[in-house]
Amino acid sequence: YMGGRTHVTAPAGGQKQPPEERRPTRARQAAAAAAFPLLILSLPGPAGRDHRSMGRPSTPPPADLRSPLWALPEELLLLICSYLDARALGRLGQTCRRLFRFTCRDVLWRRLARLCLNAGFSALGADLVLGVPVKERVKVSQNWRLGRCRRIPLLRWKRNLMPWMQLDGDYLYLSQAEDIHLYWLHPKDTNLVWYPQTVFSGHREDVCRFVVDNGHIISGGGDGNIALHKLNGSFNFKILGHQQEVNCVDCQESIIVSGSRDRTAKVWSLLSGRAGQCLHTIQTEDRVWSIAISPLLSSFVTGTACCGHNSPLRVWDLGSGQLITCLGTDFHRGAGVLDVFYETPSTLLSCGYDTYIRYWDLRTSTKLVWNLALKKKMEVFI
């Protein structure tokens, strides 16, 4: 400011620079139109401009003359949103709070959820998971399809041991440290269940595996013991079964089989007068991670760590404890079998550290019906 006059330095080339306060308005309009075309409905257009303002930046209209998108009738908003995919609908909800609340409605996401994987809708469109927002189901379904996951530890223990769980009707059994908690899942109540209905105790260390069968809970713990509880809450008895932790147990009628880190598998009796008696002790030459009894009660299969030999899946005779056959011999070292499951008396499913799910035909011991490879560095637990 000199002598009462204001001197403005023009940019090179002799062109006048437009005022700074007018630039952000045009930039925001251009960015919004490029990012979301539907927002053009809420932006002022060129109609009504004076011919004298052509070629010069336009002045934004007053705030009371603008027409925001959320001010449109609800029926029109529903029609506009019906043309959007999941990504665009989610972006629309990020523009303001009113549109966020509007785009969280289940009616907008129901159409997208029926096309997603495991979103809680039947083939006829019936909602099977009440109480869970449909938007969250679509989000989880996309994460499953794209392989996105985020590990959030809710509880921590001193030992790195994964809790075991089993669902029996409306009751959920879950191992928590050295106890087993029983939760009742009310079919009409969708709230979180905080407190267990019953707690089964009997181990001094963590419960590694348990099975619910014939009104009993048979569990194996890190203390090497096998505990048996009745479902009414009374403690029955405990067996000092192994020298190290019991990694797996299974029960069929009056027979219990167990596998341990001490490289042995044992067969136990539950008959009256012989309850807790060891019938057979089998040297597996490797740590036993999984075990299962055949539905015919004629044999059982063990899955080991695949460090002592190259055939971690082996079938044993339940009456004599002798080896019947080995399933496959092309396992890599360390490809331990973490779980086995009899689908039928002659077919078996196995999974483990090598990220494969295998389907075996026991009538042909060397025949593998099919195998499914998941992503690398991802262990499989059934």
Return all residues near 340 (Cβ < 8 A) that are at least 6 apart: 290, 291, 292, 301, 303, 313, 348, 349, 350
Q: Residues 121, 170: one domain? A: no
CA distances from 85 to 35, 92, 142 (A): 14, 11, 12
Residue 28 resides in a domain: no
Same domain, 98 and 233: no
Torsions phi, psi for 84 (to 5 deg) = -95, 150
Q: Which residue has the higher pLDDT, 42 or 277?
A: 277
Kindly tell me if the per-residue pLDDT of 60 is higher than 70: no
Candidates 154, 208, 201; CA nearest to 181 is 201
Q: Is residue 339 part of a domain?
A: yes
Q: What CATH number is associated with residue 88?
A: 1.20.1280
Residue 366 has pLDDT above 70, yes or no: no
Asked whether residue 261 falls in the same domain as residue 171, the answer is yes
Is the pLDDT at 56 greater than 70? The verdict is no
Same domain, 233 and 358: yes
Q: Is 38 exposed, middle or buried (0-12, 13-18, 19+ CB in 10 A)?
A: middle
CB contact set of 313 (below 8 Å; sequence gap of 6+): 301, 302, 303, 326, 327, 328, 337, 340, 350, 360
| pLDDT one-digit tens code per residue, 252-306 | 988 999 999 999 999 999 888 888 889 999 999 899 999 999 999 999 999 998 8
Confidence category of residue 240, pLDDT binned at 50, 70, 90: confident
Spatial contact of 304 and 336, defined as CB atoms under 8 Å apart: yes
The answer to whether the beta carbons of residues 302 and 290 sit under 8 Å apart is yes
Of 204, 199, 192, residue with least CA distance to 217: 199
User: Considering the domain boundaries, does residue 253 fall inside one?
Assistant: yes
CA triple 160-162-165, angle to 5 deg: 160
Domain shared by 303 and 192, yes or no = yes
Share of the chain above pLDDT 90, in %: 27
**Does the pLDDT value for residue 54 go beyond 50?**
no
In angstroms, the Cα distances linking 277 to 93, 159, 226, 274 are 65, 31, 12, 6
Question: Is the domain of 82 the same as that of 181?
Answer: no
CA distance 12 to 59: 25
What number is the average pLDDT over the span 213-225? 90
Name the β-bridge partners of 136. Answer: none
- Comparing 154 with 280, which gets the higher pLDDT? 280
Among the three residues 146, 176, 203, which one is the final residue of a domain in this structure? Answer: 146
Q: Give residue 233's pLDDT.
A: 65
Is residue 6 in a domain? no
Q: How many domains does the chain have?
A: 2
Asked if 210 and 284 sit in the same domain, the reply is: yes
Residue 34 lies in a domain: no
**To the nearest whole percent, how much of the chain has pLDDT over 70?**
73
What pLDDT is recorded for position 138?
92
Does this model's pTM top 0.85? My answer is: no
Is 212 within a domain? yes
Lowest mean pLDDT among 21-30, 147-156, 203-212, 338-347: 21-30
Q: Which of the listed residues 146, 180, 204 is the one where a domain comes to its end? A: 146
Residue 193 has pLDDT above 80, yes or no: no
The predicted structure's pLDDT at residue 242: 92
Mean pLDDT, the chain, whole residue set = 78
Do 294 and 265 share a structural domain? yes
- Range of lowest pLDDT (47-56, 104-113, 320-329): 47-56
Q: Give the mean pLDDT of 104-114.
A: 91
Q: Supply the range of the domain harboring residue 137.
A: 68-146
Residues 110, 225: one domain?
no
CA-CA distance, 146 to 136, in Å (whole number)? Answer: 15
Name which residue leads in pLDDT, 61 or 268. 268
Residue 205 to residues 61, 202, 259: CA-CA distances in angstroms? 73, 9, 17
Q: For residues 232 and 220, what is the distance between their CA atoms, to the nearest angstrom?
A: 19
Please tell me whether residues 131 and 275 are part of one structural domain.
no
CATH number of the domain that residue 348 is part of:
2.130.10.10
Give residue 138's identity as a one-letter amino acid code. Answer: V
Residue 4 located in a structural domain: no
**141 and 185 part of one domain:** no
User: What is the rounded average pLDDT of the residues 46-69?
Assistant: 52
Residue 233 lies in a domain: yes
Cα gap 191→23, rounded to integer Å: 52
Do 361 and 283 fall within a single domain?
yes
Q: List, for residues 120-132, the tens digit of each pLDDT value.
A: 888 888 888 888 8
